[in-house]
Chain A
Amino acid sequence: MRAGMVIKGSLLLGCLFLAGSGCSISYSVDQSSDSISQSLDSISASFDSFTSISTSSGSEKKDVEAALQRFTDDVKGLTRIFLDNAQGPDDFERQLANIARDYGILDWEHEPLAFAAIGSSLRECGVAEEDITNVAFLQSAALKQNHERIVEGFEKV
C-alpha cells in the first residue's frame, strides 16, 4: 500500500515537473492586485454563485449571517496584524474601509460589528483592557469616538 502511494506520488510529481503546472485554478478576480486569471471559460464561475435559490427565507438570513461573520473575521485579522507591525491609524482606517466596502458597508464609523471585532481581537491577542487607549493604530478621531464599543467587544469575549 505504502509503496503504491510512493509510486503514485512520484509519478504525479514527474507529471507536474513536465507539465509545469501550478497548484490551482485561479478563476477569481484577485482582490489583492486587481489582476485576473487568464481563464476564459469562467461564465459559470462568474454567475452561478449568485443564482442559489432556496424556498426558505431562512437561507437568505444565513447568507447574510455568514457574510457578516467573514466581515468580523477580517476585521479581527486586520487588528491582529496591526498589533504586530508599526503601521499607524491612517493605514488602519484605510484598510478597515477597504474591508467594509467589500461587504457593502460604507460608513464603518457607525458599524458596531467592526468595533466589537477590534475589541475581541485585542483581547485574543493578550492586550490588557487598560492598554486599549494606548494602542497606536487606534489613535484616530473616528476610532477614539468608538472606544466604548471597542471595550464592549473586548469584554464580550
Chain B
Amino acid sequence: MKYFLQVCVLLLCLSGSAYAGYLEILYVDANVGAAAGGHVGLKLDDDVFHYQFYPDERFLLVRESWEPFKLVYNRLRNRTIYAAGWSVPDDVSARIRSHFTAALASQNNDFSRYRFLLEQKQMLAGLDSGLLEVSVRGLGFFEVAEKTSAPPKILRSRIVAALGQDYLSEKREAIAAGLQNVLATLHEGRHEAGKLIEIVRRISDLRKKQAAYDILNDGAGLLSSARVVGMDEKLSQQALDNLNHAFSRRFQVLVRLLNSERSDAGEAILIEAARCLALIESLRSKTLITLDPYSEDAVEKPFDPENPEMQHYLHTLSGLLKRRCLLLLDSGANGTGAARDYHYLQLENVNGRLAEIGRAVSEGQWIRLSPEMMMPGRKRTLRTGVPPLEKNALDSALFSIDQDLSALEQNLAEKYRYALIARNCVTELLKNLNSSFSNKEAAEKFLGGWIDPIKDRVAVPHDFFYKASVSYRIEQVTRYPSRRLMQVEAMQAKSSAAAVWLREGNTVSTTLYKRRIEDSPFLFFTDDVGWPRPILGLANLLWSAGHGLAGIVRLPVEGMDPVRQAARGMFYSLPELVFFNIRKGTYLYDTVYQGGHEL
C-alpha cells in the first residue's frame, strides 16, 4: 500500500510537471521552385510560426496550423520535414508563443495602418470633385430594388418585436440628422484646421450606418448571387433545429449591433442582417443557404473541363466537403457566443467552397481560391455629394496623408524586406526565438543553448537545423517523409526494394509521380539514393540537355519555354554531380482519398 501511494504521488507529480510545453524546430528539405534552399519553422503545439517571402517582395511572419503547413510543404511540394523537439516548462512555451504572437500583431498593425491611410487618401482625393466614395462591406449582398420578398419582412418584424415599432425609422432619422450636421460643419468650414480627415471619416461611418438602416427599414432582400447552395437535398430535422439555433445567435448579435453606439457598426449590421436573411431562407426552403464568402478580389484559377485529374480531384473534394458540411450541421454549435460565431463561420466556409466547386464544374470556366478562413463581406461603393471644400484645406490634408504614407512605406520596405543572407527565414526565426528571453543565460537554460544568427553565421536552413540539433536540448527528431518517399517506403515494405526502385526511381515508369513542367525535365529521382547520385545526376543533366536541344528545334513552334525549362533541369542536376539533391518533383493535387480521409 505504501509503495502504491508513492507511485500515485509520483504519477501525480509527473502529470502536473512544469514541463508541459513542447517546442519543435522544423526543417523542410530543399526542392525546386520557391524555398529551393529549404525552409525552417517553429512549432508550438498545433501552431507553426515561419517567415514567408511574398511576390510583392515582402518578407512576413506567418502563423498557421500544422496540417495546412504539412499539406503545402510535405504533400504538395513533396519535401521531407524533420522536427527536432524538446520539452519546456509551460510558462516558457507561453512566453515564446506570446513573443511570436506580438510580432505578428505588430506586423498586422503596420499593414492595417497602411491600408487605413490609403483608404483615407482615396476618400480625400474624391472630395475635389464634390463626391465622397465609400466602399461598404456587406452592402454588396443586398438587392436594393427588390423589396417584396418574405424574408426581409420576417426579419423586420423580428426587429420590431425586439426593439419596438419605430426603432429603425427613428434611428434612421437620427443618423440622417447627424450626417447633415457633419456635412454642414464641412460646408461652413467650422472644423478645426487639420481635422478634415476626422470629419470625412465620420461622414463615411455615418453613411455606412445609414445604408444599413435603409436596407433594414426598406426591407431589401438578398441578391441571388449573394446566396450559395452547396447541397440540394433537404435538411434533417436535427440540422434544421441547429440552424434555428444559429439564427437565434445571429439575430441576438444583430440586435446588439443595432443598439451599439460604435461608430463602425454599419458594416457589421449589414453582414449580420444578410446572414439572418440567408438563415431565414434556409429554414423556409429546408436547404442550406449561406452567404457567398469569397471577396471580390479572390484569386481565380482557370477550370479545365477536359482535365480528368482536376475533375476527379474536385469530385473527391466535393464529397469530403459535403460530409464536413453535414457534420457541422448535425453537431450544431454549443458553448459561448464566440464558439457559436466561429462554428457558423466554419459552416459558411465549407458550404461556400462546396458551392464553388459545383459552380466551377457546371460553368466550366474558373474556380475561386482562398486558403484562409473567409468572413463574408461583399462590398459596394456608395457615393455621397459633399459641399465644395476650400482648396487649401484639402491640399493640406492630402499633403499630410501623403507624407505619412511615404514615411510608412519606407518604414515597411525596410522592416519587411528580404535579404538572402541577412534577413531570411532562419535569421528572423532565430532573432525572435532569442528575444523571447530576457537574456542569453535564460535562453540557454530553457533551450539548452544559444545560437546567434550573426556571430554564428547561421543563414542556411540546413545549417541552422544541424546547429539546433547539437546545441538545443533536443529529445527527439521526427521525420515526416515527403509524399513520394512515404509511398516508396510503403511499397518497399511489401516487395523487393530493387524492383520498387527500378519502377519508381525514374520519371518514365513511375506510378507515383506525374511529370510537371514546373519541375523541369529530369529522368531519375535522386533524393533516395546515396553513392549512385552523381551518376544519376549526370544522366539527368544529359536528359535535360536533350530536352534543351529538342526545344531549340521546336523553337519556332513552342517558343522559349521548353528551352528555359531544360536549362533549369540542367541547373538542378549540377548539385547531384557532387552528391547533393535539390529536385524531388512536386504535385498539383493532394491525394485526398488516401491517408486520414475516408470517403
What size tier do the contact residues of chain A reach? 35 or more
- The answer to whether B341 and A104 have CB atoms under 8 Å apart is yes
Cα-based distance from A112 to B338 in the complex (angstroms): 9
B349's closest neighbor in chain A, by CB?
A50
Q: 1/0 contact trace for A34-47 toward B, CB 8 Å?
A: 11111011111111
- The answer to whether B67 and A51 have CB atoms under 8 Å apart is no
B346-380 residues at the A interface, CB under 8 angstroms: 346, 349-350, 353, 357, 367, 369-373, 375, 377
Using Cβ atoms and an 8 Å threshold, which residues of chain A touch B337? 105, 110-111
- The answer to whether A49 and B35 have CB atoms under 8 Å apart is no
- The answer to whether B105 and A81 have CB atoms under 8 Å apart is yes
- The answer to whether A48 and B317 have CB atoms under 8 Å apart is yes
Which segment, of B10-18, B153-161, B322-330, faces chain A? B322-330
- The answer to whether A103 and B327 have CB atoms under 8 Å apart is no
Partner of A53, one of B65, B256, B344, B598: B598
Cα-based distance from A121 to B54 in the complex (angstroms): 31
User: Given the interface contacts A13-B37, A103-B338, A103-B342, does A52 sit within 8 Å of B60 by beta carbon?
Assistant: no
Using Cβ atoms and an 8 Å threshold, which residues of chain A touch B30? 12, 15
Using Cβ atoms and an 8 Å threshold, which residues of chain B touch A32? 58, 60, 107-108, 110-112
Question: Smallest Cβ distance from B242 to chain A, in angstroms?
Answer: 12
User: Given the interface contacts A44-B590, A73-B98, A109-B256, does A22 sit within 8 Å of B35 by beta carbon?
Assistant: yes
Cα-based distance from A52 to B369 in the complex (angstroms): 18
Q: 1/0 contact trace for B35-68 toward A, CB 8 Å?
A: 1111100000011001111111011101111011
- The answer to whether A42 and B580 have CB atoms under 8 Å apart is no
Q: Does B297 contact A (CB under 8 A)?
A: yes
- The answer to whether A26 and B52 have CB atoms under 8 Å apart is yes
* Chain B residues near A (Cβ < 8 Å): 30, 33-39, 46-47, 50-56, 58-60, 62-65, 67-68, 71-73, 75-77, 97-98, 101-116, 253, 256-257, 260-262, 264, 268, 271-272, 297, 299, 301, 310, 313-314, 317, 320-321, 323-324, 327-328, 331, 333, 335-339, 341-346, 349-350, 353, 357, 367, 369-373, 375, 377, 418, 420, 424-425, 459-463, 466, 518, 571, 575, 578, 580, 582, 588-590, 592, 596-598
Partner of B346, one of A21, A46, A63, A107: A63
- The answer to whether A25 and B72 have CB atoms under 8 Å apart is yes
- The answer to whether A94 and B116 have CB atoms under 8 Å apart is yes
- The answer to whether B463 and A5 have CB atoms under 8 Å apart is yes
- The answer to whether B321 and A104 have CB atoms under 8 Å apart is no
Judged by DSSP, the binding face of A is: helix
- The answer to whether B108 and A53 have CB atoms under 8 Å apart is no
- The answer to whether A60 and B73 have CB atoms under 8 Å apart is no
Partner of B115, one of A22, A33, A61: A33
Q: Does A97 contact B (CB under 8 A)?
A: yes
Q: 1/0 contact trace for A43-74 toward B, CB 8 Å?
A: 11111111111000100110111111011011
Using Cβ atoms and an 8 Å threshold, which residues of chain B touch A23? 35, 37, 39, 51-53, 59, 418, 424-425, 461
Partner of A64, one of B54, B60, B335, B357: B335
